[in-house]
Amino acid sequence: MPILYYIQNSSVAIILIAIILLYVKGQGGRRQAQDSLFVALLLATMAIIILELSVDILSGRTFYGSRTLLTCVTFLFYVANPLPGVVYLLYLDQLHRRWVSIPRGIGIIAFTPLVIAFILSCMSLFGGVIFSLDANNLYQRGPLFYLIIIADYLSLFLGFVYLLVYRDSFKQKDFSLFLFFPLPVLVGSILQAVFFGMEVTGISLAFTLLIVYLQMQNTQANKDYLTSLYNRSLSEQYLQYLIGHQKKTQAIGGILMDINNFKQINDTHGHDLGDKTLRIFSRLLIDSFGGDWFIGRFGGDEFILFRERATQQDLEYDLKNFQESLERFNAKQPLPFSLSVSQGSALKEPSNEIDGPSFINVLDRLMYQDKRHYHANVRTEH
């Protein structure tokens, strides 16, 4: 096959994955574990496509150091090959368990193909088990090449079995979609194995990921449409999860925020600027609180945040950091008014057996105490 064929194929796949990555990364908010795993799946696929293209470009080249470079790239390519299948299985497990950490057993099973690929690739450096380079620095398949194919698709097969075992915990559309997921890759790999030189696995996986992403967007009911933060329903579910899995030595941190005078902002400047303000404020929350906090839009101009394993020092430090960010933002005067918030924050200690709605009520009372204090100060100043 001409090198242009490989470049065109790989470029289309890389562009597709890059576009999906840009959309996923631009959605904001603290991602759930499965969202982060989907990003990992995209990155793993892109890395494999780039490595495979590098093998195609370097194969047969004879410049100084080309043999060493081709050996290294081919080694990395085969070591990384099982990664999409590994992440696919972990992704399914997170969809099934939601916020629960990946069990050690699932982790061991998922990463076994990666260990097998590493061992086979190391053996090939000395014995050409799955790949070798001839005297002209041309890449050649080894006599036991089929072993790496088995390792590559072991996790995909395990994911298929996982779906069947836990099918009742998946929505019907999700079940059908992820059952379909390995099929284009499987067909592509068979064609690639039978017809040496044909490369369609990468582009078939890229198109499959695009279909998965579009389906995720179509069925995504957990995000607030305006801010891309998590919505009230998921925020309440997440708090219940934290309470249900709270350890005896760890507290849960909670913050409820409300933008001051937001109704006046809408009435004076219009709803378009009001919506823009909500998006800007959401970005300030994301930038200030980072990945340690779950951030949701609770309704209107109210935002709610939770953090597991929180301390009083964490609350004070993160709120101070946010307040400093807000002051720096206002100093630049990007809006025709200054942003300020009223907030209530508290820790739910393990000894406190209140439920989720009661904890939110505590935050709500504290927030409105702060809001009354804010309005009293405004009246005093005038």
What lies within 8 Å, CB to CB, of 183 at 6+ separation is: none
367 pLDDT tier (thresholds 50, 70, 90): very high
Same CATH fold, 232-381 and 3-219? no
> Which residue ranges make up each domain of the chain?
3-219, 232-381
Supply the CATH classification number for the domain 232-381.
Answer: 3.30.70.270
The alpha-carbon radius of gyration of the chain (Å, integer) is: 26
Where are the extended beta strands (E) located within the chain? 131-133, 139-141, 251-259, 294-299, 302-310, 341-348
Question: If you ran DSSP here, which 8-state letter would residue 230 be given?
Answer: B
Half-sphere exposure in the Cβ direction for 45 (13 Å, CA): 33
What is the rounded average pLDDT of the residues 216-242?
81
Tens of pLDDT, residue by residue over 298-335, are 999 999 999 988 999 999 999 999 999 999 999 999 99
Q: Which amino acid is at 46?
A: M
**What digits encode the pLDDT tens for the residues 344-361?**
999 999 988 899 999 999
Residue 204 has pLDDT above 90, yes or no: no
Which residues have CB under 8 Å from 170's CB, separation 6+? 95, 96, 163, 178
Q: What's the mean pLDDT when you consider all of the chain?
A: 85
Task: Indicate the range of 32-36, 157-161, 328-332 predicted with least confidence.
Answer: 32-36
Q: How far is CA 171 from CA 176, 216, 221, 254, 337, in A?
A: 9, 12, 12, 30, 45
In 3D space, the residue among 317, 312, 302 whose CA is nearest the CA of residue 363 turns out to be: 302
Q: What is the CATH number of domain 3-219?
A: 1.20.1070.10
Tell me the C-alpha distance between 50 and 55, whole Å. 9
Q: 332, 288 in Cβ contact below 8 A?
A: no
pLDDT, tens digit, 9 for 90 and up, residues 13-30? 888 888 888 877 665 444
pLDDT score, position 382: 53
Residue 66 clears pLDDT 50, i.e. is over it: yes
